[in-house]
C-alpha cells in the first residue's frame, strides 16, 4: 500500500489505527536522530504504549546495531500478551528505513541478523512495517532488501518478507535535506536506472519503471521545473521498482566494497565509483557528469591512496560476493570478463 502527497504524513495515525491491538498494542517508531532537535517529534502520532527510538545513521546499518535495536524492542514488549509490537515505522533515509525493515524481520526470526544476510533465508513473516522516507533515491521504501554490514560482508537480507507493508510518501519531508546529500542519494536512483536498463536481466517490468524513473531524474538534476521534490520521490519509487525485477550492476558492486572498507555512505560511494565506469556505461556516465556540473558537485578524489594492499583486497572480496550484480552487468560469463585483477584496477583508479 502506498500513499503520496504533500502533507500526507499527517495521515499516518489513520493508517496505524487499523493495526493497533487495543488496549495493549504499541508501535515502534525508529526515527533518524537528525530530527531529534526541532519540532518533528510533535508530529509523531505517539500513543502511551508506543516506543520511540532515535536511531543514529552516521554509520550505515550494521548487523550488530540491528540486533541491539531488536533486543531493545523485545524488552519493551516482553510483558505484552503477543510479546511483539503491532508495527515498526521507519522514518528517515535509506539507512533508517533499512533498520526498520531489519528490526521488523528480526522480531519474528530467531538468532542474529548476520544469519540472514543473503537471498531468501528468512523463514517467518515480519511484524507489520511502514516506510516514511525523508530522503529519496535509494528505493529502500519499495525494495525487497535491507542492506546490512556484518563482520564479514556488506550484504542485504533479501526476501519477500522484507518488503514494507505500507509507504507514506510525503515530498515535504525531503525538502530540508542538505544539497549534497540530496544529490548523492538521488544519484543512487539514477544509477539504479542505468544499471537496470543496460543489464542482461532487463525485462518489460523493469524497463517500464526504469525509463520513467530515468526521465524524472533528468527533470530533477538537469532541469529546473516545478515539483522537484515530488518528482525525486517518485523517481526513487520507480527506480526501486525497476530493480525489484532486475538487478543493479558494477557500480553497486564496487560501491559495497568502498562502504565496507572506507565507511562511505551508499550514494556517495556509488557516485565516486560511477565516474570511473565509462567503458561499461558510457552514455550514462557522461550524462552523470553533466548532472555533477549542473548541480555544482565536486566528487572526492584519491580516496584509495592511503589504503593498504590488504584493504584493497578486502574491497575486491566484498565486491566479488555480489555475483548477481556482475552477472546482470556482464552476462553469465562475467567471471572471465571480470577477473580479480580487473576489479582491483578499477578500485586503484578511484
Residues 221, 136, 13, CA angle at the centre, nearest 5°?
145
Q: Which of 26, 87, 93, 239 binds ligand NAD (CB under 6 A)?
A: 93
Contact call for residue 257 and ligand NAD (CB under 6 A): no
Q: How many residues does the chain have?
A: 350
Give the single-character DSSP code of 62.
B
Pick out residues in 57-86 that bind ligand NAD (CB under 6 A): 57, 60-61
Q: Is 246 in the site for ligand NAD (CB under 6 A)?
A: no
Q: Which of 147, 168, 197, 244 binds ligand NAD (CB under 6 A)?
A: 147
Assign 50 to helix, strand or coil.
coil
CA–CA separation, 203 vs 145, rounded Å? 20
Which residues sit opposite 91 in a β-bridge?
A: 31, 132
Which of ligand NAD, Fe ion, none does residue 208 bind to, with CB < 5 to 8 Å depending on kind? none
Site for ligand NAD contains 134 (CB under 6 A): yes
Residue 46 Cβ vs ligand NAD, minimum distance, rounded to whole Å: 20
Least Cα distance to 57 among 30, 37, 39, 38 occurs for: 30
Using the rule CB under 6 A, give the single segment among 67-75, 95-103, 221-229, 326-334 that binds ligand NAD. Answer: 95-103
User: Of 70, 95, 198, 206, which one interacts with ligand NAD (CB under 6 A)?
Assistant: 95
What x-and-dash track marks residues 265-304 binding ligand NAD by CB under 6 A?
Answer: xxx-------------------------------------
Nearer to Fe ion, 114 or 322 (CB): 322
Q: How far is the CB of 138 from ligand NAD (least distance, A)?
A: 4
Number of residues that bind Fe ion (CB under 5 A): 1
Q: Does 34 bind ligand NAD (CB under 6 A)?
A: yes
Question: Whose grid coordinates read 552477472?
Answer: 327
Q: Single out the segment in contact with ligand NAD by CB under 6 A; choices: 175-183, 275-283, 303-311, 339-347.
A: 175-183
**Can you state the angle between helices 282-294 and 266-274, rounded to 10 degrees?**
120
3-state secondary structure of 38: coil
The phi and psi torsions of 235 (rounded to 5 degrees) equal -60, -45
β-strand pairing of 27-32 with 154-158: unpaired
Considering only the stretches 23-31, 88-96, 106-114, 309-317, report the one whose residues sit in contact with ligand NAD under the rule CB under 6 A: 88-96
Give which of 247, 294, 257, 254 is closest to 275, Cα–Cα: 254
Neighbours of 44 (CB within 10 A): 18
C-alpha cell at 298: 565536486
The gap from C-alpha 98 to its chain's centroid, in whole angstroms, comes to 6
Cα distance between residue 210 and residue 27, in whole Å: 34
Question: Measured from the CB atom, is 26 or 267 closer to Fe ion?
Answer: 267
Work out which of 188, 229, 230, 327 binds Fe ion, going by CB under 5 A. 188
Asked if 195 touches ligand NAD (CB under 6 A), the answer is: no
Q: Which residues bind ligand NAD (CB under 6 A)?
A: 32, 34, 57, 60-61, 92-96, 98, 134-135, 138-140, 143, 145-147, 174, 176-178, 181, 185, 188, 265-267
Q: Which residues bind Fe ion (CB under 5 A)?
A: 188
Amino acid at each position: 500500500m502506498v500513499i503520496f502527497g504533500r502533507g500526507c504524513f499527517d495521515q499516518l495515525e489513520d493508517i496505524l489505527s487499523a493495526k493497533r491491538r487495543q488496549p495493549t498494542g504499541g508501535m515502534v517508531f525508529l526515527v533518524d536522530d537528525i530530527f531529534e532537535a526541532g519540532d518533528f517529534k510533535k508530529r509523531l502520532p505517539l500513543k502511551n504504549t508506543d516506543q520511540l527510538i532515535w536511531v543514529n545513521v552516521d554509520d550505515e546499518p550494521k548487523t550488530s546495531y540491528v540486533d541491539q535495536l531488536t533486543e531493545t524492542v523485545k524488552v519493551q514488549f516482553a510483558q505484552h500478551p503477543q510479546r511483539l509490537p503491532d508495527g515498526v515505522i521507519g522514518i528517515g533515509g535509506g539507512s533508517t528505513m533499512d533498520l526498520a525493515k531489519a528490526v521488523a524481520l528480526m522480531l519474528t526470526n530467531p538468532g542474529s541478523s548476520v544469519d540472514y544476510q543473503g537471498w531468501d533465508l528468512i523463514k517467518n513473516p515480519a511484524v507489520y512495517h511502514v516506510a516514511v522516507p525523508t530522503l529519496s533515491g535509494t528505493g529502500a521504501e519499495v525494495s525487497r532488501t535491507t542492506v546490512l554490514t556484518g563482520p564479514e560482508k556488506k550484504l542485504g537480507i533479501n526476501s519477500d518478507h522484507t518488503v514494507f507493508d505500507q509507504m507514506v510518501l510525503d515530498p515535504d519531508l525531503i525538502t530540508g535535506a542538505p544539497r549534497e546529500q540530496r544529490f548523492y542519494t538521488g544519484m543512487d536512483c539514477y544509477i539504479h536506472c542505468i544499471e537496470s536498463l543496460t543489464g542482461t536481466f532487463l525485462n518489460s517490468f523493469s524497463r517500464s519503471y526504469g525509463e520513467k524513473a530515468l526521465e524524472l531524474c533528468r527533470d530533477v538534476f538537469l532541469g529546473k521545473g516545478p515539483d522537484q521534490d515530488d518528482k525525486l520521490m517518485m523517481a526513487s519509487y520507480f527506480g526501486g521498482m525497476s530493480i525489484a525485477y532486475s538487478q543493479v550492476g558494477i557500480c553497486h558492486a564496487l560501491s559495497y566494497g568502498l562502504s565496507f572498507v572506507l565507511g562511505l555512505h551508499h550514494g556517495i560511494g556509488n557516485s565516486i565509483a560511477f565516474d570511473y565506469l565509462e567503458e561499461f556505461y558510457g552514455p550514462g556516465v557522461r550524462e552523470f557528469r553533466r548532472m555533477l556540473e549542473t548541480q555544482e558537485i565536486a566528487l572526492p578524489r584519491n580516496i584509495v591512496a592511503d589504503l593498504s594492499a590488504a584493504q584493497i583486497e578486502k574491497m575486491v572480496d566484498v565486491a566479488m560476493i555480489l555475483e548477481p550484480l556482475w552477472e546482470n552487468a556482464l552476462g553469465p560469463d562475467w567471471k572471465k570478463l571480470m577477473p580479480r585483477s580487473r576489479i582491483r584496477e578499477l578500485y586503484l583508479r578511484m
